[in-house]
Structure 1
Amino acid sequence: MSGSTQAAATGPRLYDRTAELAAVTRLSARAGAGAGGALFVTGDPGEGRTALLARAAHDFPGSAHRIAAPAHRGAWSGVRALCAALAPHASAGRRALRLARGEDGVTAAVDGLTGGLPVLICLDDLHLWDAHSRAALTTAWREPGPRSGGTAWLVSAARHHRVPEVPEAETVRLGRLSRDGARALLGDLCAVPPPAGLAERLLDAAAGHPGVLAAAVRRLAAGPAHGSVPPSRPLVDGAVLAEVYGGLVDGLPVDSRRLLAVVALAGRGPEGSQALSPGPEVFQAYEVTLGAVLATARETRTSVEPLDGLITDGLLCRRGDTLRFEDPFLGRAALASAPASWYAGNERADASDRTLPAQPAPPPLSVPVARPPAPVDPALVRSEGHRADRLGPPASVRALAPVVRGRSQLVRGLAALGGGPVMEAHEVLLQAAELLGEREPAEASDARFLAMEAAWAGGDVAACLAALGSGTVPRGTEGDFVEGMRAALTVRLDQARSALARVVAGDGGQDDPRLLLRAGSAALVLGDTVAASRIHARALARARAEHRTALVPRALEHLAYAELRAGRYSRAARAAREGLRAAELTGQCNIAAHQHAVLALVASVAGDGPTVTEHAGRALDTALPHGLVQAATLAEWALSRAEFGRGLAAQAAARLAPLVRPGPRGGHFALRMLVVPCFVEAAVASGRRAEARVAAEEYAVWAVQGIDGSAPAQLARCRALLARGEEPAYWFGEAVRRHDSCGNDFERARTLLAYGTWLRRRRRPGDARGPLSDALVTFERAAADGWAEHARSELRATGGTTGGVTDPAALGRLTPQQQRIARLVAGGATNREVADRLTLSPRTVDHHLRSVFARLGIRSRVELPAVVGLWDARREPDTGVPARHARA
């Protein structure tokens, strides 16, 4: 599209763009008044986004600049192009670039280059800009600051690109031209008016698309004379569409491009010509069944893995079991790019069936359990390992009323959700919802939400959406939850926020624990971990007060996860241990697996390798056969963190790589972005910088969504790890500054440890001691023994002191478990005897004992009695109790 230029001498003529030009006029008026603002323009290829920007730049009374997307999409390339276009000298551009990437950001850089005067900045093709620049620009638009003056931003993007949500910003969508507008454009395109018949054919074929009409005219001008065009020849053929849509289609990954062509090919129908035939009928958005697409994909050996991404980007529309192109020109362009062998039918293959992948989604949540339904005959709910549902209910059950059958299926589904394969539970619960239907709407609604919870645990976004349904959204809180989750699951977070915020705000009037759990889940989607913990704690209290024994483990599961997301690991461990006991007592092994995974993650924070291995192994023992993708991902994440803490960076990176990969062979769709910072750190340490950079680019886009409060700080840490030269110092400083406002002390300590390590390796030991000492103190407070030992060794390498490791008072900083072990060993007990006494394994005792040695600065157990004795001697005056009577 347009290059980086000043406004042209004459502005382009536009057709049927009255509303769009009015929006530009309003933006210009705000700039002239010193208020500034932003206007987003979206549209399909060839619909005139660049022409509108050129016209706006021409009409603007002050200084106007148009900047195209850089040819190379490297980090910060867009901000570089912006600064170069605004700066009169190269040195000014370099200074502005440093400022734009600093604390004040793009706003300060633009103000410095424009002097605060009214200016219009037209950014073309935002979807082609690099992620770093888009994130910086979004921040500037959302928080312009007091010095933004009269800067107006006119930004164009492809229709399938989600423009950022900016307060008071307008968004206009370019559409097709009216018949009169297209006729006026045709008159300007042709030096000699075409014959009336040919003109009408051109207008019909282009269907109001200005770019297609212009390309068709150019192709005619290069071909035969106007009057000799055969009536059977399509005026808009593959060559015309390739000229207009080629940039979009060719810019897609190969697998995505092939899959678009498969959908178009399957949609041609039995006649085989619908998508290619001339005439106005081709502009009806045709539909194709998902089964036909899968069959065509098998025949052409095409992967269907990119399908959800194409739907999320808006290139395809899915409604139930049908797919459609909202823009048939795109379908025809995709079809024109298909290999010629597809039409000959000689590329058939016996490709195996492929399942559709899950798409990226918001942070993990769970959906509340239903109130137990009315009692039913036990004979109706009996099953063998929750697998009898595959064969359907027996004849005696089918003869009963739908409500009784529905309740029977609901009980079966609850049993499978608590202790069986979760995707089987999903299917049974959907059957229950269908049977209950309008007869028992409350129970039917509970069944659907339980089905969604099962699909969420199984990592299947399509199944989650199927459980929510595609019909009319009910009113009230339930409707808000359905609307918000539909938007969140299809990655329309800006639309999800308002609906889910109403759900969270309404929790105060709820007493039903299942509705409170629903509100807490909505809070997690919004990234409000404080509200999520508070609401889930209330749900737990209500479940206990109502003696709903089966619901208590699920409430504790939700509470443990909310505390984990908030970085309150000791609280998460307490809730998980209690939830584990409750789940085991009620036979809900799936919930127990999730609690084991949470405990494994908490242990990975403490650096307790044996405990991580134990809990992660138990979680995976259930998660793998039952399809619990969420629990399995958490367990693998915990194992990788423990490996990295032991210095096994390559092993940790290899374990994390599948978890951050999209698609069905990766981890849980809702955990991908949460895992990325760990992967980047391990990948950089093991030499996999290219993979780390790709993951960090995607994380940069996600971090600005406001889903995770610590994401901006962890993004800065990722950039520091990937940077070269002296640039890491800036990013480490940015990360620490951002950590100070997000409240996760453990992640802040990890950043300080990485910063101190970098400073030591740059031979700056004096500068390194401060961050390393701060990290050590935080790790010790969190009882993160493995991380503390790492920080201690780095601090020793700088020549600094680790503080008090030979002081007997250090015994008081041990965890209660470590103090008990230290006292028993000091009294002469062996590891086996300590294990029997404290109901631990000898391996766990050995691990804790090594941590005790490291904390106290001693080398063997023979030194323990002296340290314990000195510590007790210091305590005696304070307690008034003889040391020999002190309890371990």
Structure 2
Amino acid sequence: MTGLTTPRSASHRYRAGSQRRAIAELLDRLGTEGGVRLVTGDPGCGRSALLAHAARSFRAGPVWHVRADPAGSARPRDGLHTLLRAAGRPTSPPGGTAGEALLAALRKAAGGVPHLLCVDDAHLWDPASRAALGEAAARVHAAPGGTGMLLAVPGHLPTVPELAGLPALHLAPLAPADAAALLDDATDGTADPGVRTRLVTEADGNPALLLALAHRLSPAQLRGHRELPGPAADADVLTSVVGGHLTGLTPDHTDLLLTAAAALRATGEPDADADLVRRAVRGLHPRPARTASPFLAGAEGRLRFRSPLLGRAVYATAPSERRRAAHRALARTLPTGLPALLHRSWAVTGPAPRLAAELAAAATDPVAAPPPGLRRTAHTRAAELAPDDAERARQYTAAAEQALLAGDSPAALRLLDAARSRPVPTPVRGRTELLRGRVLLADGPVDDARESFLLAAGLLTGASPEGRGPDEAAVAAGLGAADAAWAAGDSAACLRALTHDGPPHPDAAGPAGAGIPAPRSAPTLLHDHRDGMRAVLLARFDLAARPLRRVVERGQDAADPEQLMRAAAAALMLGEVTAARRAGSRALAAARTAGYSGCEARALEYLAYADLRAGRHQLARTHAEEGLRAARRAGQRNTAAHHHAVLALAASIEGDPVADHVTAALTTARRHGLAQAATLAQWAAARADLGAGRP
């Protein structure tokens, strides 16, 4: 049984505002002036749905909606004759070119009123018919004369030469919010928020794939009551979307495509080294393809799939032994390094402790410094190859941290669940709870985040995981609990978290586990931040200034975005707005340089608040708008609520409407207990009322 109750095609109304407006304007213009557009996009992007919508909604005159027949591609002029018959002319009139004859037949059949021709899969027609259609379309483009043409062709293939040069309308992938709206419509809003986020992420903006993923789930799975299948987009689902696009390939071309797809999997980049792929194919197939595949495009020695969805389908549908062979060929071709190790790991089928250790070491190599997405892949694969539960949990936790840095909170939670599903050492469990608290603080009930942080503080007291100083991880957990309590507006809980750094846990290692305070080491940035915040809450501002100023001075010269954001927070507490803006700007730059997209929205939050405090309201709006987009990309609803609050405050100062931002901030704030964001949003609404003379 499927949970998909009201499936609908992905019409233009689900697209982002700019493309939706462009489509609406195009359809309006076709009904008055005419014109031509070549509609392109990936398989499943909605080309056919758009043409069907245009044909249904055209009211100015007659409409001819024709789908090309692949069987007719071998018959000369089959497509042209189909169009002429649709226009009431069974044969071409004498005189003139075929394109002129086609256009004349359409206009005569329309009787002098605007008319529309929609041709789906125009690339499948025979060359003579395509040439006639292309000539007619070129004439319409030059002088519309009331004739409208929409010609749909796939975006994953080169444009056929007969239609090249025509103005194109490329149907881009759906934005996450638009994809979520489509899914809610298709499931009558029954999808659990976590399930919805995962399906939207898996579909990557492809509406047909999104509906296929939802169709696969039972009602219980859609509602989050049962575990989802893994992987969500398997070979069957991808085949249902890609359809026959991959049929009829020769073995040598299949190996070329599979090797390209395997190469991309080890880099996380949109393209691969063309020479690497060709050398690996030569080791895989005795007679490698002599011609390039139409599914691949290349420039400057790089290869990419014209449609990433096709690349996913090629890899998922290949037999497992062929996938392993492709990875072995790539591993032999590559020099030593993380990509080569990943290819080796995907070529094995069982536990491989030595290879797992090599992957983990390469993922943490400070010299190579791979991006977070690649580090997550390496740690995940190391966990799958690890020899015991403890090492598996360590690697899943490390992978979750990289997912969080890369801005993929749902993936981070899934990896943390995998780490928690087995008995693990206490420090590892503490690290897992610390990361869970960080995820929930950005996107979840902040009370739940605080409890995860407090549990982590107890587990980590006296421990020194990941090479940190004594109790530093516990201090970080205590600060996280304080941040969560601060966001919830609970000053008493905030002070408790800062005073105790979390309750000692009975399993905690070291003297603190027995209730004896651990020896105090030299103050670090974390210790200073804790001591300064505690003094502020106790109204001992004379004691707060010195440690907070040390946080600012040491943090603003750091390269770590987290330390820079702590410096910005401390500067805001001290009222040093210039220092806060400088630390926020550096945090944003550091996050972008390191590829930590998960930190961008938070860095922009500190920067926007500092701008507000400095009276730079326009700049605050610019940074908050950018932060809102970053928070949505990363699935950080709490951070998005703070940005909405900033935007509401800035708008209230300048006399602009605030209602939308206030409503958005309060919606999340009330669901997740964000008293601070709610207060700021209500303050903005009140100021707007006062400014409008509504005391």
Q: Give the structure-1-normalised TM-score.
A: 0.37
Structure 2-normalised TM-score? 0.46
The one of the two structures with greater contact order (alpha-carbon pairs below 8 A, sep at least 6) is 2
Q: Which has the larger radius of gyration?
A: 1
